[in-house]
A = this chain, B = another copy of it.
Amino acid sequence: MMAALPPALDHALADLLGDGWRTDASERLTYGYDNSRRHAMPDAVALPTTAAQVQALVRACRVHRVPIVARGRGTNTTGAAVPAAGGVVVSFERMDRVLAIRPGDRCAVVEPGVLNGDLQAALAAHGLFWPPDPTSAAFSTVGGNLACNAGGPRAVKYGASRDNVLALTAVTGAGELVHCGSATTKGSTGYDLQRLLVGSEGTLALVVEATLRLTPAPQARGALRAVYRDVASAARAVARLMAQPVTPSMLEFMDHHAVRLARDVGGADLPHAAGALLMIEADGDAATLPHALEALRHAAHGHGTGDGVISIDAADDEAARSRLWAARKTLSPALRTLAPGKINEDVVVPVSRIPDLVDGVQRLAASFDLPIVCFGHAGNGNLHVNLMFDPTDPAQSTRAHEAMAGVFDLALELGGTLSGEHGIGLAKRDFMPRAIDPPTLALMRAIKAQFDPDGILNPGKLLPP
């Protein structure tokens, strides 16, 4: 942990930012957390309102080698927004404007601090949406979504953050303002720096303006809930669903533990023989939606074979849709009945390896004597592995962390990787050498050094020490 801020820097940034410069301990405290439940105290908090202020701030901090941690609203789950090395937290809460919505160009220009949910509300008036829909959408920022390449259930059809950005303006760790990409849906003009910035967790540059790729909003949607005898049957259905032409707009999976919890604790209406569940959605218009749902039902049902199917229920309206989703919604609170502590990691594997992932996870659960519950975005092979333990029991905590290391190794063995949409931050940083080989990791470090020659941007995150 570094010492307090150099007085010259403190004065310069107070002059630059006025009441957007905070050094009171009580104010700093609340900017030290993120949703990983880690905390570290920053030396100051900056609330810039313009790109020019961000650039001046970075240049000033660079002179004094003071760390800078970009912050949206702290919903990150990996510690990426925690100022572990002290320094200045730059919160983008005052740079929250939607600067332009251009329906004919299918794009919007925004400041990084706009809430995902506020943007979606502004876009809805134009019949458009921005695809990333993390669970936190109502209270997470576009800048934060870009920083960790946030996805969500819709990503199976519409892509994650990286797939839905056209151009970024950003300030590098050298204090340079760079313009990456163009407001066009095709581009082959030099190196693609904008997608490189997405998922870089504030370690390369601070995004000050984003031009986002938009999609016209579908007019209607419909849901199916397919219940299977076992995980293997459900996983085969996922592979069938992803191999036919109608891409579902959501394809969510719950393993047998999740199904049991939803039924026995959450009170969901699910048969006792249920060993796995898929929530399948399609979207479209009134004319095409019934055909899309029929195609999905056909694939879910094994093209007529009934392969492992117990039941498939359809929702024709929003009320019925909510009833079908109830099983999924009860899950998070129900999990807490298993144990007070939870490690939730979002490994990703090729879709065909989902059964191997779920089987392997259950072997780890048995071997470490801890419950592990899997559910998540099956169409992307992106499962949330929830490892339940009592954090007040040191032996359980140790076993939980060992088991999670086993989950990472398993995902990598299956051809997958550490994170689908949460990112690396502090939580998975030490596992990076298992996922990325030494020359590739060395190249990542070398690239980081070009953007941030003094290593002041979010030090200690993403790349292992």
Q: Which residues of A contact B (CB under 8 A)?
A: 102-107, 127-128, 148-149, 151, 155-156, 160, 162-163, 172, 176-180, 182-193, 195-196, 198-200, 204, 216-219, 239-240, 242-247, 284-285, 287-288, 291-292, 294-295, 348-352, 377, 379-382, 415-424, 428, 432, 435-437, 439-444, 446-448, 450-451, 462-463
Contacts and interface: CB of A to CB of B under 8 A. Distances in A.
B419 A189 contact: yes
Given A172-B443, A191-B448, 5 more contacts: A103-B239, A176-B439, A188-B420, A191-B447, A287-B291
A418 to B, nearest CB: 5
Contacts of A188: 148-149, 160, 199, 419-424
Complex copy number for this chain: 2
Given A417-B182, A432-B190, A447 B444 contact: no
Closest CB pairs A-B (n = 10): A104-B239, A176-B439, A186-B420, A446-B450, A287-B291, A104-B352, A105-B350, A182-B417, A149-B188, A216-B245
A199 B191 contact: yes
Name, among A186, A243, A245, the residue most crowded by chain B CB atoms within 10 Å (CB to CB): A186
B245 A187 contact: no
B216 A443 contact: no
B199 A416 contact: no
A189 B288 contact: no
A76 to B, nearest CB: 11
Contacts of A246: 285
A423 to B, nearest CB: 5
27 contacts: A104-B352, A105-B352, A106-B243, A127-B245, A128-B243, A160-B186, A172-B443, A180-B440, A182-B415, A182-B417, A183-B350, A184-B417, A187-B199, A187-B417, A187-B419, A187-B420, A189-B417, A189-B436, A190-B435, A190-B462, A191-B204, A192-B199, A193-B447, A218-B245, A219-B245, A245-B285, A288-B292
A243 B350 contact: no
B185 A380 contact: yes
B196 A191 contact: yes
B186 A348 contact: yes
A61 B50 CA distance: 48
A463 B162 CA distance: 25
Nearest to A200: B191
